[in-house]
Amino acid sequence: MNAPTSLRDLPQGKLFRQGDVFVLFGELFGRGYANGLINEARAAGMTIIGLTVGRREADNSLRPLNAEELAEAEARIGGKVINVPLMAGFDLDAPAGEPTPTELLSVLTLKNWQDEKLDWAQIERCREAGVARFKNSVAEVMAQLEPLVADGSNVFFAHTMAGGIPKVKVFLAIANRIYKGRGDRFMSSRALLDSDLGKLILMNFDEVTANTFQYLIDGSAALRQRLEASGGQVRYTAYGYHGTEILIDGQYQWQTYSNYTQGGAKKRLEDHARTAWQQGVKATVFNCPEIRTNSSDIFVGVELSLFPLLKALRQEAPGEWAEAQWAACHALLQDGYSIDDLLAQIEAYNTDATMLAFRDFAAWPMDNSPALAEVMIGTSDDITSKHKERSALVTDHLSALVLEGTGPLMFGEAANPAGPVLWLNHDIIAKQLAKLHG
């Protein structure tokens, strides 16, 4: 594949209705993408079921939510939460009596992390233990879900899991330098990927971000067969990331955040959808735009691609509502700065020779570089400093709009999806927002 397969037309499909069941495969957090889909499921009258990653005790053992946590989780999602801990990855798993990967990593320091070697046979045993634990939990979830789904009804599984960074202090320091450092504090993402630490992290990303989608599709096979045999249908969606087309130089052009260390796992996620599709299962990865959430806030500069959405709104949704979005964003800036100034700065950033070199779809995900960090993190810091408050940024406003737009796009397209991997770019998001807001 050498170009994105983009959704260009607003979906017309309608499948889900009252009595159908929406299952969020991942835990719901405040600002997360999943909110967009949940709003649609609720509006369609579906029964909403949530899941949880569980919680860790002080000794790292994994437990279900306690009564108070469960009540909070159910209130947040507005539905029943099946209380089986679905934490994915194997960073804290091991066969009984053996050290976990996190324990193996505890000897790493900022001085030795690039040279230390891991015992890969031991890591593999931990991976197998983690996968077995997760698959068992999926089976338990499905057993509890079965009686909640009536024959002939439809089920929408929305996969939202992504992550897998092991909780070791040294990685926090490394991550801060790779994703936030420039000048003397710059660190090369390639140095991480070439180390044993980096290889382990990529394996864990594969498990959390990609393979959980496969375990979900496999683990729900019996439910899918029962429903299909009784006139119902089952759909699977997942949130991907593989760059986004945004307005640059007056045209929608593909660009990406670099280094997106999870890129390999997101490509694997796409592969799982393609494989499922070939087997007649309607599973679709929606590659979504960069927004600011709990998960993405560590990547300084990822938010810069959001600004041109304002231009897309004027282009695809001209009128009072688009102007109100410009005004709301302008109100967040300090006196003396305008949205036009900001957009000119972003246009210069996006057409800078350093950035152009990173706009290579076939080479994705590319390593970072000192020059990239300088221009990307520098521009991000500069634009943030032009706001009245760091806690109310233009990118907060625009993230909420993207999230709102992706909800109906994914929900509608999942009724009759065009393929296993679809990009939602700024054009279609703006068109969807125009439809929602007139």
Binding site residues, ligand NAD, CB under 6 A: 26-27, 29, 32-33, 53, 86-89, 160-164, 208, 239, 241, 288, 290-291, 293-296
For residue 106, the Cα-to-chain-centroid distance in whole angstroms is: 28
Phi, psi of 203 (to 5 degrees): -65, -40
Cβ proximity to ligand NAD: between 53 and 343 the closer is: 53
CB 226 within 8 A of CB 151: yes
How far is 342 from 339, CA to CA, in rounded Å?
A: 5
Cβ proximity to ligand NAD: between 89 and 232 the closer is: 89
Cβ proximity to ligand NAD: between 160 and 380 the closer is: 160
How far is 47 from 155, CA to CA, in rounded Å?
A: 10
Closest approach of Cβ 32 to ligand NAD, in Å?
A: 2
Work out the number of other CB atoms within 10 angstroms of the CB of residue 171: 19
Closest approach of Cβ 208 to ligand NAD, in Å?
A: 5
Cβ proximity to ligand NAD: between 162 and 192 the closer is: 162
Closest approach of Cβ 164 to ligand NAD, in Å?
A: 6
How close are the terminal C-alpha atoms of the chain, in Å?
36
Cβ proximity to ligand NAD: between 114 and 293 the closer is: 293
Cβ proximity to ligand NAD: between 291 and 375 the closer is: 291
3-state secondary structure of 181: coil
Closest approach of Cβ 229 to ligand NAD, in Å?
A: 31
Q: Is the dihedral of CA 288, 379, 363, 91 positive or negative?
A: negative
Sequence letter at residue 413: E
How far is 209 from 216, CA to CA, in rounded Å?
A: 12
Cβ proximity to ligand NAD: between 87 and 104 the closer is: 87
The string of DSSP codes covering 266-286 is: HHHHHHHHHHHHHTT--EEEE
Q: Is the dihedral of CA 125, 127, 131, 134 positive or negative?
A: positive
Cβ proximity to ligand NAD: between 141 and 227 the closer is: 141
CB 77 within 8 A of CB 24: yes
How far is 296 from 29, CA to CA, in rounded Å?
A: 13
Sequence letter at residue 36: G
The token duo for 228 is 């299909």
Cβ proximity to ligand NAD: between 20 and 93 the closer is: 93
CB 284 within 8 A of CB 237: yes
Closest approach of Cβ 249 to ligand NAD, in Å?
A: 23
Closest approach of Cβ 89 to ligand NAD, in Å?
A: 4
Closest approach of Cβ 54 to ligand NAD, in Å?
A: 9
Closest approach of Cβ 175 to ligand NAD, in Å?
A: 15
Q: Give the residue at shortest CB distance from ligand NAD.
A: 32
Closest approach of Cβ 162 to ligand NAD, in Å?
A: 3
